[in-house]
Every structure is written in C-alpha cells, then in structure tokens.
Amino acid sequence: MCGIYGVYGGGVSTGARVPAEEAWLEDAGRLLRHRGPDGCARLSCMGGRCLLGHSRLAIIDLEGGAQPIGNEDETIWVVLNGEIYNYVELRQELIAKGHRFRTHSDTEVLVHLYEEKGESLLDDLDGMFALAIVDEKKERLFLARDRFGEKPLYYASLDEGRRLVFASEMKAIVAFPGLDNHLDVPAIAQFLAVGYVPAPRTHYRAVRKLRAGEALSFSPRARDTDARLRTWRYWQPRIELNGAKPPTHEDAVEEVRARVLESVRLRLRSDVPIGAFLSGGVDSTCIAAAIRELQPGIKFNTFCASFDNPQLDEAPYARMVAKHLGTDHHEVHFSSDDLLPIFDALIDHYDEPFGDVSMFPTFAVCRAAREVCKVMLSGDGGDECFGGYSEMFGYYRWHGLRRTPGINAAARGLRQFWGKSWRGAGWLGFLSKSDWELLHTWDRGNVISSYFTPDYRSAAETGLLELEASAREHERLPYPLSAFEATASSYLPEQIMVKVDRASMRASLECRAPFLNPELMQFATNLPLDYHFRAGLGKALLRDALPAWVPPEIRWRQKRGFTPPLCHWLRAELKSEMENSLDGGMGELRTLLDPSPAKELFRQHLAGSDHSNALFRWLVLTRRCRDAFLN
C-alpha cells in the first residue's frame, strides 16, 4: 500500500527537466507521506520528460521492494499502490518463460508481465491496485485502477493535452503549479444527490479520476489529439441471465465456503502482521472465521468500534465472535467527545466532498489497529455479493404483490392518503414504485429547484442526467438484480471504498477485502434470488455458509450498518458548525447555492424531523468548496 504520483510530458520539446515539476514532485511526496511512511523514491526517465514518485508502506519484501521498479534494460518502469495477491503464481510462470527477477516483491511481477502482454496484463491480476507503467520505447504512460476501485487514481490533462499529471490523492494533483481550481457544477449536483462525486468527475473541472476497472493510455507526441489520451473500461460488474442450470442450494453453500477461503488465503500473504475488522455482523464474522480456519494455531488481532447508543453498538456481538475464535480483541469506543478533534482534519483529508459520516469512527478504528498491525482484512463487498441491503431483501418480502395488476396504483393512493409519516409508508413505498424508481433513489427536483441558483441550474441538470444515465445502464435487469449490479458499479467503489481507503491510509494502514473477488461476485450474483433472501433477510446464502458454531443471534440478526448518531450530533456537537455553514461559511458558494432551503431543513431537524443526510452533505460541501472559484 503506497502513494504514487508523476508527470509526463514536461519538457517534451527539449527533453529538459522543468524545475517547477521537480519541486512539485517533492511536494507530492510530502502530501502523500501518510500513504507510505516507510520510504520515498523518485525517478526521472525518458530524458527528463517523465518524473515518477512513490511513497512506500512496506508490506511485501520489506528490504528489496522499493519503487519505482524497472526491467533489465530500464525501458519499462512501474509504480504501484496496492497489492497483487496472485503475484507468487504469476512470478513462477514468468520465471519459467525466462524472466529474471531482482526482488521478491509483487510490484516487479508487473514489469515482466507487461513485457509479455502489454496493456492486457490487467486480465491476469487478482488484486487491489492503482498502477502507472512508463514504456520508454513506445513513449507511453499507462495507468490503471483495480476492478472494484479499492485504490484511487486521479489525473489532470494540461497544456492542451500535451502533459499529464497523476496521483493517488487529489491533494497532490491540486498542488501542481498552474492547475485550474474552478468548481465543476455538475459534480456538485451529483454530490448533493448521492453523497459522493462519481468518477470520472471531481469537484474541480480540471481534475478527473479513473473509474473502477478503467485504464488510461497517454502518448504526448501523438499527432492526433484524441490519440494522446484515451481511457477504456477493461472490466465492470455484469450479471448475465444466461439460463444455465444453477447449482443446488447445498452445492452453492459449499462453493461459497471454498471461494471465500481461497480469497482469504491469498489476502493473508504479507511480511507484516495481519488483523481483521470484526463488527459481529455476518460479513466480518465470515472473514474472521476463515482466517482462523486457515491459521488454526496463530493468534491474530480483531478490532471493532463501540458507541454509547446501544441501538448502534455492535460491540457485544463482536465480543462473542472474538471469544470463540480466541483473538486478541480490541474495542475502540467512539463518542461525541472524539468527533470534533478530528472533524475538520478528516473532511479536508478526503479532498473531495464526501457525505458518509461513518468516516469518523472508521478512521478511529483504523488508527487504533495501526498500533498493532499494518494490514487488516474487512468484510466490505459482502452486501454487493449476497444481497445485504434492505432495499434488496425488501423485494423478496413484497415482490409477488408488486407484480399483481393494479397494486402499484393502489399502493400509491394509500401512501398519499396516509402520508409519509404513517408507519406503513415503508412497505407502501416499496409496493408503489416501479423497478426504475427503486433503482433511482435520489430526488432530482429537490436538488435542482431548492439548492441551485437560477444561473447554474442548467449545469447542475447535466450532472443529474449523468446519474440517471448511469442508473439506466442496469435497467436491462429486473429488480433487485439491477441493484446488485448498480451498487457494485457505483456505491461500492465511489462511497464504501473511498471511505475505507482514505480513513485507513490516513493511519498508514492497508485494508484488504476478500469478498471483492470478481469470480466470487460473479458466482454469487448469478445464483437464484431465493438462495439470497429468506424470511425478510438478505445474505441468506452467506448466513448458511457460516461455520456451525456461529450462534443464531449473529447468524440471523438484521443488518445494522456502521452508523454513528449523526441526527443527534447535528442538534448538539455539530449545531454551531451547521449554523455557520448556512450563514458566514459559504464563501464563493453563495453564487452557486441558495442556503434558504437548507436553513428550513435545519429548522425542521432541530424541531424533531430527521434531515441528517441532506444537512451533513451541505456542511461538508461548504467546508470543502467555499474557497474555490466558479468562473
């Protein structure tokens, strides 16, 4: 796990190094040091036209794995952020073909695999990664991001497409001399709608990010402007309804067990201590149990968060699992007293506006884990593989009624009659919606009419139309299969993985997610829906695959989620912060946004309604963007 950064195209005409770019390389290394505190190295290649930098968190081959790493004649150079889990098998195949290795690192595998297969090397990789490969002979820079977007990669095209700068985090890109820091209005609209900015946009017009499973090729000397920079998706989650006969339920359970074990086995490869996050939920229990099965005599550490509110606190369940597994278990208590000391710094650290309040306890747990371990395994991805979100298993409970003629119209009428406050509005809302409405979860009208000033509504509309177009890519599938695919394509890489990467790397901690294995996800999401949903619960298949010792109160408990008490915080600890964001804290955003609707939401929130998500997004946005420029 590391930070990577570089610039290609500087000094193209003369081959000379540019002092401002070399100074930026030092700044980028400093700004990304939290991602790799164990070492920092820089390289000038291609006659000074390409500069590469790497901040290292040493995990594999502690003595010999420094980067950048080149091939024998130093015409190919690689920097990597992440881990290639199947590097041992790939290394053996490459040695058999005559390649010579100078290190035992996973990164060097990329050098020789690129020599063999070029850009198609991505097809062979099982890992989480953001990588950059410089090919001096072809005068090309090649960038790629892993399939599920576990590792980030930002870039900016400068000088009319003749120069490209890239980095693991946007803070390094923004520090590049002369970069345009004007706001991207469509991206702001997308953030207010869903709580994150989906790739390829960022909240700056000049900066873009690779999507999960996307690659980029940059050749600054190409005559055709379009040929200088091209991007393409080499992989994305797809559910194919091929009509093949599924395995029996019993065979599916055994196959899930075997696939999870194999995925965990590969992710236990490390030269430093490994632990596991353990919430006491189904996903993290499955991963921790797999570690114990693979390493029966080895003690390992588990970590969980605890909260004052017993309705949110999962620590007692985690304690039960840890006791059975015999782990060294650590509970990290997070209260309102822990929030304000890290509030501003963590919002700034995420660079882009990011609306998931669980980033605060996530960072607290990562910081505590880093005192003991350098690598942690998590249960992220279990919901996307096995149908863990409430909207998905709500389908199972009501899907027969939803397809009864006239039920949608009747449910719409009942909901309108009783109003949203009625206790049955939840299931009425589900019954009254079409498959498309279930997939389209944001309120476009509220975002456009309530927040944006008239001069910017058209630009905001562009961003929301992009969200709709992205959601409609999954309409070919019936609900909830469309939701399986959509969450794996967008919510997972753009929210879950962003939260985990920034929080863990702020603490210089590597997080690995065994469920994020393409073959495992493809197998699970192509199984019959009845395997996943039972008695109003999701992840029934994964629950069945848990070891026999797991007690019913863990195996069959409802999904709770990692949710701190934001509703209370906005009425107490964050009240003054919210008031400032609605008044004097808007800065340049006053031209773009009208605070009146948000003020009304806040008034209602203080009076007892819950508008936590919308208000927190507003608060984060004003903190991150108040000093940026619009025009």
475-491: per-residue pLDDT in tens?
Answer: 999 889 999 999 999 99
Q: How far, rounded to the nearest angstrom, does the alpha carbon of residue 138 sit from its chain's CA centroid?
A: 32
- Read off the tokens for 148: 């599920």
What does the pLDDT look like over 597-606, one tens digit per residue?
999 999 999 9
pLDDT confidence bin for 444, thresholds 50/70/90:
low
Spatial neighbors of 182 by CB under 8 A, at least 6 apart, are 204, 205, 206, 628, 629, 630, 631
Q: Which of 125-139, 254-268, 404-418, 494-508 has the lowest mean pLDDT?
A: 404-418
Residue 107 and residue 35 share a domain: yes
pLDDT confidence bin for 13, thresholds 50/70/90:
very low
Mean pLDDT of 91-109: 96
Most confidently modeled of 92-96, 412-416, 583-587?
A: 92-96
pLDDT, residue 20, reads 80
- Read off the tokens for 192: 């207010």
Cα–Cα dist 99/57, whole Å: 26
pLDDT at 12 over 50: no
Active site residues: 2
Cα–Cα dist 106/91, whole Å: 8
Spatial neighbors of 435 by CB under 8 A, at least 6 apart, are 475, 478, 479, 482
CB 147 within 8 A of CB 488: no
Residue 298 and residue 156 share a domain: no
Domain presence at residue 136:
yes
What does the pLDDT look like over 156-200, one tens digit per residue?
999 888 899 999 999 999 999 989 889 999 999 999 999 999 999
Domain presence at residue 227:
yes
Domain presence at residue 290:
yes
CB 392 within 8 A of CB 482: no
pLDDT confidence bin for 615, thresholds 50/70/90:
very high
CB 75 within 8 A of CB 136: yes
Residue 116 and residue 7 share a domain: yes
Q: Is 443 helix (H, G, I), strand (E, B) or coil?
A: coil
State which of 233, 264, 281 marks the end of a domain: 233
124: domain CATH number is: 3.60.20.10
Per-state percent for the chain, helix, strand, coil, to nearest 5: 45, 15, 40
Cα–Cα dist 210/149, whole Å: 9
pLDDT at 563 over 80: no
CB 331 within 8 A of CB 318: yes
pLDDT, residue 422, reads 47
pLDDT, residue 403, reads 64
Residue 288 and residue 226 share a domain: no
Residue 196 and residue 136 share a domain: yes
Residue 182 and residue 286 share a domain: no
pLDDT at 421 over 60: no
Cα–Cα dist 404/418, whole Å: 22
Q: Which of 80, 219, 16 is nearest to 137 (CA)?
A: 219
Q: Which of 186, 187, 167, 382 is nearest to 281 (CA)?
A: 382
Domain presence at residue 400:
no
Mean pLDDT of 297-314: 91
Cα–Cα dist 3/132, whole Å: 11
Mean pLDDT of 616-621: 95
pLDDT confidence bin for 445, thresholds 50/70/90:
low
Quick one: what percent of the chain has pLDDT higher than 90? 76
Domain presence at residue 51:
yes
Mean pLDDT of 85-95: 97
Rounded to whole angstroms, what are the CA distances from 103 to 68, 70, 271, 600? 12, 11, 14, 61
pLDDT, residue 300, reads 97
What does the pLDDT look like over 505-555, one tens digit per residue?
999 999 999 999 999 999 999 999 999 998 778 999 999 999 999 999 999
Rounded to whole angstroms, what are the CA distances from 182 to 154, 178, 188, 203, 461? 16, 12, 12, 8, 18
pLDDT confidence bin for 426, thresholds 50/70/90:
low
Cα–Cα dist 211/565, whole Å: 31
pLDDT at 631 over 80: no
- Read off the tokens for 49: 């036209």
pLDDT confidence bin for 15, thresholds 50/70/90:
very low
For residue 79, what is the enclosing H or E element?
strand 76-84
Sign of CA dihedral 185, 189, 192, 197: negative
Omega cis (within 30) before 316: no
Number of neighbouring beta carbons within 10 Å of residue 226: 8
Q: Could you give the count of Cα atoms lying within 13 Å of 293 in the half-sphere of its Cβ?
A: 18
Return the axis-axis angle of helices 425-432 and 390-402, rounded to nearest 10°. Answer: 70
Number of domains in the chain: 3
| Alpha helical stretches, state H, 476-611 | 481-486, 497-506, 518-525, 529-532, 540-545, 552-555, 566-569, 575-581, 596-606
Domain presence at residue 443:
no
pLDDT at 467 over 50: yes
Q: Which of 140, 121, 164 is nearest to 10 (CA)?
A: 164
What does the pLDDT look like over 307-316, one tens digit per residue?
988 888 899 9
pLDDT, residue 14, reads 43
pLDDT at 332 over 60: yes
Residue 212 and residue 75 share a domain: yes
Residue 602 and residue 581 share a domain: yes
Q: What is the average pLDDT score of the chain?
A: 91
Mean pLDDT of 90-119: 96
Q: How far, rounded to the nearest angstrom, does the alpha carbon of residue 586 sit from its chain's CA centroid?
A: 28
Q: State the pTM of this model.
A: 0.94
Which is higher by pLDDT, 206 or 241?
206
Q: Which of 126-140, 298-312, 321-335, 388-402 has the lowest mean pLDDT?
A: 388-402
Most confidently modeled of 288-292, 459-463, 481-485?
A: 288-292
In the block, residue with structure tokens 């690779």 = 210
DSSP 8-state assignment for residue 507: T
Residue 122 and residue 9 share a domain: yes
State which of 233, 266, 287 marks the end of a domain: 233
Residue 223 and residue 98 share a domain: yes
Cα–Cα dist 262/353, whole Å: 36
State which of 198, 233, 268 marks the end of a domain: 233
Domain presence at residue 471:
no
Mean pLDDT of 376-395: 91
Q: How far, rounded to the nearest angstrom, does the alpha carbon of residue 538 sit from its chain's CA centroid?
A: 22
339: domain CATH number is: 3.40.50.620
Residue 308 and residue 187 share a domain: no
In the block, residue with structure tokens 């369940």 = 317
pLDDT, residue 240, reads 87
Q: Which domain holds residue 588?
A: 565-631
- Read off the tokens for 61: 């081959």
pLDDT, residue 390, reads 83
CB 187 within 8 A of CB 197: yes
Domain presence at residue 276:
yes
Residue 41 and residue 127 share a domain: yes
- Read off the tokens for 601: 């939401």
CB 360 within 8 A of CB 333: no
